[in-house]
Structure 1
Amino acid sequence: MDINCDLGEGVGNDHLLMPFLSSCNIACGGHAGDEDTMRQTIQLAKQHRTKIGAHPSFPDKENFGRTEMRIPSEQLTSLVLDQIETLDAIAKEEGAVLNHVKPHGALYNMATVDKGVAEAVVKAVLLFDEKIILYAPYGSVMAKLALEQSIRVMFEAFADRNYNDDLTLVSRKLENAVIQNPEEILTRVLLMIKEKKVKSLSGQLSHIQADTLCIHGDNSHAVDIVSYLNQQLPIHHISIAKIGAV
């Protein structure tokens, strides 16, 4: 199983999280990040054998990329591609390669349901490298379009977020959007992996596929959560897919 986290966002806990991650998504200038933070995060990922991904966003540092924006499709493709290429250039200088792309925040959420936004993201991925992996939610418009273009998709599930009945995430504007209890998260993760189900906030069980699990770095309990999952998942015969792991 892959465990990923969004890093290089200025939260300040990247060095504590990285040892427990098998992949990371590095902010590349849209909502957060600059050349220095990208380089530092890449170096940290290499040190811990953690796969590196680009985490492009709407160009909206003021709102941390969490506000929906309406941008013409060609312009959006160019914005996303520029961010991926910026991170890739720094990665090459550091002797690293990009493993995947995962959109951030409002861009990710819109690409999940909005065909126009999803097409712009998928086009950017294809223009960059048709062989790179895209992290996308199971059943999403983005995943469907990517698969139709023969892009390799890893279905992403959110370990520390509550779901609505339609598999969208509960809005961060609501109190119960984020889960912070490691034991509760483990129970949810085991249900996702072993039974391919997720329990929504209403109690409904829905089918889901999880190839990679996301824990949010800005969750105040993020380090405790990833540490606990690393400790507990092997007990349940689930290994964490670090680079070079057998």
Structure 2
Amino acid sequence: MVRIDLNCDLGESFGAYTIGQDEEMMKYVTSVNIACGFHAGDPLVMMRTVEKALEHDLRIGAHPGLPDLQGFGRRNIHITPQEAYALVQYQVGALQAMVIAQGGKLTHVKPHGALYNMAAKDRDLANSIAKSVFDIDKSLVLFGLSGSQLTDAGSEAGLPVAHEVFADRSYQADGTLTPRSLTGAVLHDVDKVEEQVLRMVEHQEVNTITGEVIFIQADTICLHGDNIEGVSLAKRLREKLG
């Protein structure tokens, strides 16, 4: 059995609207990335999600996104490096305060959605995010797409980094994720997801959506709680990966 971190984006409900299967997912993952109110979540949701994560003894990370509630942070919005620095620090600081208030410690930061994907390719944006995190706490682990500009920027800034791979997403030939607007971007077949994950972890490679085989470094595996098969996938992978 191979041991590896399983992470999940949680705390994405808002007001009266419930999104995801947070408490069920927490039974099987080892790290959680909690939305900070810009793309999803609100102060009460954040506080309650931190509370539940601490009850499950999970590593808690901040999941800052673009200011786009309606688009769930998945729409590209042009921001300057200075804006990126500020919005990441604002969101991480808010969640960090809630974690500290409940006796916990923030362990990592993972940008969300479009911000994450933009920073995977844009070095100036990636540098701003890395500097923002470093200036808060240089011990925070920066999660980024495996082999991306964001992980490179984090390492150069002096942060510990985790190269992230995705269990339930397909890949492009350049190592980026297939856009959600395209057919086949999200994987729902539990057997295929398990096969992809084991190949990434054991052989450091993945098949792209167009058939190529590319190298990939897997330090942490992301599962999505809003995937209809999310809990089944998490349970299956926890059994296989410890």
So what's the TM-score if we normalise by structure 1?
0.93
Q: Distance in 1 between matches of 2:80 and 2:179?
A: 25
Pairing 1:151–2:154 present: no
Q: Which residue number corresponds to residue 2 of structure 1?
A: 5
Pairing 1:29–2:37 present: yes
How far did 1:12 drift?
Answer: 4.1
Q: Distance in 2 between matches of 1:16 and 1:223?
A: 7
Q: Distance in 2 between matches of 1:120 and 1:40?
A: 30
Aligned residues of 2:36 and 2:46 also touching (Cα < 8 A): yes
Aligned residues of 2:190 and 2:233 also touching (Cα < 8 A): yes
How far did 1:217 drift?
Answer: 1.3
Could you tell me the percent identity over the aligned residues? 40
For 1:130, the aligned partner's letter is K
How far did 1:148 drift?
Answer: 1.1
Secondary structure of 2:232's aligned partner = helix
Aligned residues of 2:131 and 2:157 also touching (Cα < 8 A): no
For 1:190, the aligned partner's letter is L
Q: Distance in 2 between matches of 1:181 and 1:22?
A: 22
Q: Distance in 2 between matches of 1:12 and 1:136?
A: 22
So what's the TM-score if we normalise by structure 2?
0.94
Pairing 1:140–2:148 present: yes
1:165-184 counterparts in 2 under 5 A? 165-184=173-192
Q: Distance in 2 between matches of 1:150 and 1:12?
A: 34
Pairing 1:208–2:205 present: no
Q: Which residue number corresponds to residue 92 of structure 1?
A: 100
Deviations 1:29-53 (A, max 9, x none): 1101111111111111111111100
Could you list the runs of 5+ residues in structure 2 that have no partner in the other structure? 14-18
For 2:201, the aligned partner's letter is I
1:164 corresponds to which of 172, 176, 191: 172
How far did 1:157 drift?
Answer: 0.1
Q: Which residue number corresponds to residue 129 of structure 2?
A: 121
How far did 1:119 drift?
Answer: 1.5
Q: Distance in 2 between matches of 1:15 and 1:97?
A: 20
Could you list the runs of 5+ residues in structure 1 that have no partner in the other structure? 240-246
Q: Which residue number corresponds to residue 39 of structure 1?
A: 47
Deviations 1:11-69 (A, max 9, x none): 14101110101000000011011111111111111111111000000111111000111
1:49-60 counterparts in 2 under 5 A? 49-60=57-68
Q: Distance in 2 between matches of 1:186 and 1:141?
A: 27
Deviations 1:148-201 (A, max 9, x none): 122100110001000001111111001210001111111111100111001101
Q: Which residue number corresponds to residue 16 of structure 2?
A: none
Q: Which residue number corresponds to residue 72 of structure 2?
A: 64
